[in-house]
Amino acid sequence: MRTLIARLDSDGDVLLSGPAVRAAATAGEVVFLCGPGGVQAAEMLPGVTRIIEWECPWIANPAPDVRPFDIEAMTALLHGVRADVALILTSFHQSPLPLALVLRLAGVPKIVARSVDYPGSLLDVRLRDDPDIPEAERALEVARAAGFPASDSSLAVVEPPKTPLSRPYVVVHPGATAPARTWSPDRWAKAVVALTAAGYRVVVTGGPAEAGLTEHVAGACGHDLGGRTSFRELAGVLAGADAVVVGNTGPAHLAAAVGTPVVSLFAPVVPASRWAPHGKHVLLGDLNAPCAGTRARECPVPGHPCLDLIDPADVVAAVAEVTA
């Protein structure tokens, strides 16, 4: 049996689809359809046998133009997959129906998704409800509705490479694709100083585009790894850490997938009930702030109060709590 699973968002979203992938993989091959920002996470999901990358114009942000040639080419490519069933995994604010139409035109015989909109003949199995539960559970329910066996909702990745860093250490990951979902750089820098003063060795991580940020945050106290690790190597660094301090962004879920406790500076622009890290974690921030539920990428409230009112001492206390 060949299952096509689509999650067209970024790394964190793809990691949260892992339990659904594992459930489908018990029945055969899993082809994973994802956006450019999710490929490196998809490569680490146990059970994925092939990855198809697509910058989908109704999911990507900023969105590319809808071009007939691109849609026709993707339809032909998906037709060649010869999938027996397709699972479309979406967040609560996304519709699965445009992709369901493409998959139907590609000849997929069974399509399963959660949709609050009437799907007509686009879906064979439709989950109508939208429960306020963790995102990984929502995805796993789609796999169960397709007939795959029950599976646990824990996150997992293939074993990452061992980090050459000597232990113990705490990771601070200050970056995020949406600035509203993380602390301001100066607050991160003060937290590194506070953690160091409390006796922790601090490693600061980030992607290639975040090298300036991580250098500022690491300062004279932290060990700066910004732009120096691949996603797989980052997983190894997180796996070796005693704790990870991070905003609401993909590495929070990567840390959970490798079993490392997370201190999450969580802006409530998306619900914590759905997006909080799996596993052992502490949430810091005002979950009832005026920005709650706005899905804002840039903070809509002057001063970013939901996070910037957090004191670095609160971070130190939270790290002590999750590492106790």
Q: Which two tokens stand for residue 269?
A: 């622009």
Q: What is the pLDDT along the chain (324 residues), one digit of tens a residue?
A: 999 999 999 999 999 999 999 999 999 999 999 999 999 999 999 999 999 999 999 999 888 999 999 999 999 999 999 999 999 999 988 999 999 999 999 999 999 999 999 999 999 999 998 888 999 999 999 999 999 997 788 999 999 999 999 999 999 999 998 888 899 999 999 999 999 999 999 999 999 999 999 999 999 999 999 999 999 999 999 999 999 999 999 999 999 999 999 999 999 999 999 999 999 999 999 998 888 888 888 888 888 888 988 999 999 999 999 998
Give residue 57's identity as a one-letter amino acid code: P
Does any domain span residue 159?
Answer: no
Whole-Å CA distances, 26 to 6, 143, 153: 17, 11, 15
pLDDT value of position 242: 98
One domain, residues 133 and 210 = no
One domain, residues 175 and 299 = yes
H-helix segments, the chain: 11-16, 18-25, 39-42, 68-81, 97-105, 135-145, 185-197, 211-218, 231-240, 250-257, 272-275, 305-308, 312-323
pLDDT value of position 93: 86
pLDDT value of position 54: 97
One domain, residues 139 and 22 = yes
Does any domain span residue 27?
Answer: yes
pLDDT value of position 150: 77
> 136 with 16: CB under 8 angstroms?
yes
**What residues contact residue 119 under an 8 Å CB cut-off, 6+ apart?**
96, 97, 100, 113, 126
Q: Rounded CA gap, 286 and 297, in Å?
A: 17
Residue 307 sits in a domain whose CATH number is 3.40.50.2000
pLDDT value of position 177: 86
- According to DSSP, the residues that pair with 111 across neighbouring strands are 86
211: domain range?
Answer: 170-323
Burial environment of residue 199 by CB neighbours within 10 A (0 to 12, 13 to 18, 19 or more): exposed
One domain, residues 229 and 311 = yes
Q: Rounded CA gap, 34 and 28, in Å?
A: 19
pLDDT value of position 130: 85
